[in-house]
């Protein structure tokens, strides 16, 4: 899931369609969710457990496949 902060629904929809994103996109027009998770800059990536616990937060853009795999592996049970 992704959360978009502050952009219009039309802009978000255009982006999702252009990039064929395979996950849901939520909107946070007021920045309330960003404040609740103490996001100081965008983009930011959070890995959240099924129980709702923040397991990892990575500021900045994630574009490197190996970096993303390592991040996901770091929060797997037994890691």
Please list, residue by residue across 11-35, b when 16 or more beta carbons sit within 10 angstroms of its beta carbon and e when fewer do: ebeeebeeeeeeeeeeebeeeeebe
Given pLDDT bands bounded at 50, 70 and 90, which one contains residue 79? low
Tens of pLDDT along 22-78? 888 899 988 998 999 889 888 988 888 888 888 888 898 888 888 888 888 888 776
Give pLDDT, residue 11: 92
pTM above 0.75, yes or no: no
The position carrying tokens 């998770």 is 37
Q: Are 33 and 54 in contact (CB under 8 A)?
A: no
């Amino acid at each position: 899931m992704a959360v978009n902060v502050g952009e219009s629904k039309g802009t978000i929809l255009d982006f999702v369609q252009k990039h064929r994103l395979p996950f849901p996109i939520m909107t946070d027009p007021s920045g309330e969710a960003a404040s609740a998770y103490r996001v100081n800059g965008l983009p930011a990536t959070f890995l959240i457990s099924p129980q709702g616990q923040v397991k990892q937060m990575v500021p900045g853009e994630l574009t490197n496949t190996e970096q993303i795999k390592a991040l996901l592996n770091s929060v797997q049970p037994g890691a």
